[in-house]
Each structure stands twice: as structure tokens, then as C-alpha cells.
Amino acid sequence: MSPLFDLTGRTALVTGSSRGIGNALARALADAGATVVLNGVNAERLKAAEAAMAADFASGRIHSCAFDVTSDAEVADAVAWVEDNVGPLEILVNNAGIQHRVAMLDLDVKDWERVISTDLTSAFLVGRAAARFMVPRGRGKIINICSVQTDLARPTIAPYIAAKGGLRNLTRAMTAEWAAAGLQINALAPGYIHTEMTQNLVDDEQFNSWILGRTPAHRWGTPEDLAGPAVWLASSGSDFVNGQTIFVDGGMTVVV
């Protein structure tokens, strides 16, 4: 492996990595040499994910920490736990996220707030907790997981669109405040990726054929498609890439 992309000896925390895209990103970082801390709220699912991944890597490389990314207190305790028990946190992937589909006229404010809090405020909370350790050390990589909905709207997912658009600008705000200290903060914006979160869309024949027609690559993405870009943004290979949102979407956002 080129030393540019070698993550050996670096500690990474990936939020929402008990399954789906976060789990694939955590595996990609571990494959590149990182020591990885998995996260989720469901402790049982998280332990199962940790055991599954630990079987493929050397002892001591895979850890887990259950906490809710929307809780300021839990986030602060969790990041301190990683620092004390695993190693200095050098890579943070803000991936945890939820979806809620309902027409805006029928949208309850509690559901609006739940999505904004899980998909946007969480990145501020975990990013701030991590940066409080990274900034004094003068190094760190933060990768915020956006979406094509960072740029493109669709009916019935207003809070998700607002959160993912906000996350792109939060990436810029973090860059404005922390880049001078040696941190790189960027975002990855996946296109439509086949995961548990989107299984109902894959099963919907009409939606599925719309996706295939709308995507120049003519397929759904896979979590593995995000591995290369994530390792690059986590590595020394991206040391002068700051505040960018990289779309990994088979070309969806460049065509109409």
C-alpha cells in the first residue's frame, strides 16, 4: 500500500457503524490499518458487529462504544473513553443518520427535530468533542456523511434535505475554525446506496427503475463504493483537501 493511504496506528471513530454504510466505512478504515471504534445505540447489535469485525483483524484493533450521537453528555463521555482506552482520536466519521418520510403538510415538529438532531446536530456534537482533542494536537480528519439530498430535493423528506444541506455548510464552518490548527474536515455525499435504510426503495419497482434511469452509472451504489474515497479523506493523501463535499453518486448530481 502507498504510505499516503496507510492508516496504521491511527484511531478512528465511526458513528452509526453497527450496520449499513457506517459498518462498511469502518471496515475500509480497518483494512487500511486503522484501529477502529464502532458505534450505535442498540448495544446488542453493536456487540455483534464488533465480534464479526474483530474476527477479521488483529487483536486490539476493533472496539465499540454504544452512545447516542444526539446526547451532548453521552458524546463527551464516549470521546473521552476513546482517548483514554483506545488511543488519540485522529479520524472521526460522522455517519449516524435516520430518515423519516412524510409529506411536509403532515410533518410533526417532533419528527422534524428528531431528524435534524440525528443527522445534523450530532455532527456538531461529536465533531466538537473530537476537535477539542485534535486541535491542541494539531492534526485530525473529520468526514461528515452527506447525501445527494445535500444538493437535490425530493418530496416527503424535508428534514433530511435540510439536515444534509446544513451538514455541507457545517463542514465549511468546521474548516473555517479548525483548518489552521492542522485538521482536514470534508464530506462524502453518497448517491442511492443499497442498505437496510433503502431496502424498501430497492423493492419498489417504480422507484428502482427511476433510480437506474436517473443514474448515469445505471446502478445502485454499494457501501463498498464509498471505501476508497473514505480512506483517501482519512489519510495523508488528502492533507490539503479542506471543506469539500465529494459526491460518490454514479454521476446522479451532474445530469438532469
In the shown chain, the binding pattern of residues 166 to 195 toward ligand NAP, with x for contact by CB under 6 A and - for none, equals ------------------------x-xx-x
Stretch of residues binding ligand NAP (CB under 6 A), selected from 38-46, 108-116, 202-210, 238-246: 38-46
**Does 36 engage in binding with ligand NAP (CB under 6 A)?**
no
* E-strand stretches of 112-253: 140-145, 183-190, 245-248
Shortest separation between residue 196's beta carbon and ligand NAP, angstroms: 4
* E-strand stretches of the chain: 11-14, 35-40, 62-66, 89-94, 140-145, 183-190, 245-248
In the shown chain, the binding pattern of residues 39 to 58 toward ligand NAP, with x for contact by CB under 6 A and - for none, equals xxxx--x-------------
**Does 165 engage in binding with ligand NAP (CB under 6 A)?**
no
Look up residue 155 and give its three cell numbers.
418530496
In the shown chain, the binding pattern of residues 128 to 147 toward ligand NAP, with x for contact by CB under 6 A and - for none, equals -----------------x-x
- Is residue 2 a contact partner of residue 32, using CB atoms and an 8 Å limit? no
- Is residue 207 a contact partner of residue 155, using CB atoms and an 8 Å limit? no
Shortest separation between residue 219's beta carbon and ligand NAP, angstroms: 13
Shortest separation between residue 87's beta carbon and ligand NAP, angstroms: 21
**Does 250 engage in binding with ligand NAP (CB under 6 A)?**
no
Shortest separation between residue 108's beta carbon and ligand NAP, angstroms: 18
**CA-to-CA dists, residue 89 to 2, 92, 126, 180, angstroms:** 22, 7, 12, 18
* E-strand stretches of 165-254: 183-190, 245-248
Look up residue 184 and give its three cell numbers.
482536514
From candidates 27, 37, 97, 157, binder to ligand NAP by CB under 6 A = 97
**CA-to-CA dists, residue 111 to 57, 103, 144, 155, angstroms:** 39, 12, 22, 16
Residue with Cβ nearer ligand NAP (140 or 223)? 223
Given the residues 67, 160, 220, 247, select the one marked as catalytic.
Answer: 160
Shortest separation between residue 179's beta carbon and ligand NAP, angstroms: 23
Tell me, yes or no, if 192 is annotated catalytic.
Answer: no
Shortest separation between residue 47's beta carbon and ligand NAP, angstroms: 11
Phi, psi of 241 (to 5 degrees): -105, 115
**Which residues in the 185-244 window bind ligand NAP by CB under 6 A?**
190, 192-193, 195-198
AA letter at 184? Q
**CA-to-CA dists, residue 118 to 19, 56, 73, 125, angstroms:** 16, 30, 15, 10
Contact positions vs ligand NAP (CB under 6 A) = 15-22, 39-42, 45, 68-70, 95-98, 118, 145, 147, 190, 192-193, 195-198
Residues labelled catalytic? 160
